[in-house]
């Protein structure tokens, strides 16, 4: 059994510095996929019977890159909670109890934490950590 990694606030923010450019890429890929979603479905339907399509190949490349980036982030110990909003959690200890240090894409550094069960809606200012 793998022991969970607990981050200090400093460690989580340093890890976030590494992750942030990957999250930039993820958001860009996400936006491109969503932008091309209607045409992609028709391409998938047509290519299923005729041996492929260049547009579909480009989208597959984007999905492969997205998968690679997500695995890089997970390898740091961070947890990806929502790709659409760019929500990440870092497991930490507060008074001996597991909690999450919480970061959302667009925020500078980690400014919030929440109880494990509380989720995003239960975020509290890091000053209370």
The model's pLDDT over 68-125, given as tens digits with 9 standing for 90+, comes to: 999 999 999 999 999 999 999 999 999 999 999 999 999 999 999 999 999 899 999 9
Q: How is the chain split into domains, by residue range?
A: 9-128
The model's pLDDT over 42-80, given as tens digits with 9 standing for 90+, comes to: 666 666 556 666 666 777 788 899 999 999 999 999 999
Find the helix or strand (DSSP H, E) in which 14 lies: helix 9-35
CA-CA distances (angstroms) from residue 49 to 46, 54, 56, 90? 6, 14, 13, 44
- 53: β partners: none
The pTM of the full predicted model, rounded to 2 decimals, is 0.85
- Mapping DSSP onto H, E and C, the string for 22-63 reads HHHHHHHHHHHHHHCHHHHHHHHHHHHHHCCCHHHHHHHHHH
């Amino acid at each position: 059994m793998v022991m969970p990694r607990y981050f200090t606030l400093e460690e989580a923010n340093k890890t976030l510095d590494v992750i942030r450019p990957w999250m930039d890429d993820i958001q860009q890929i996400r936006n491109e996929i969503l932008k091309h979603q209607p045409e992609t479905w028709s391409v998938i339907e047509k290519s299923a019977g005729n041996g492929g399509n260049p547009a579909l190949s480009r989208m597959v490349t984007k999905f492969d890159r997205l998968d690679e980036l997500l695995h890089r982030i997970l390898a740091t110990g961070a947890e990806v909670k929502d790709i659409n909003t760019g929500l990440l959690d870092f497991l930490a200890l507060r008074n001996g109890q597991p909690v999450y240090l919480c970061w959302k894409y667009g925020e500078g550094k980690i400014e919030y934490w929440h109880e494990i069960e509380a989720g995003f809606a239960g975020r509290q200012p890091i000053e209370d950590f």
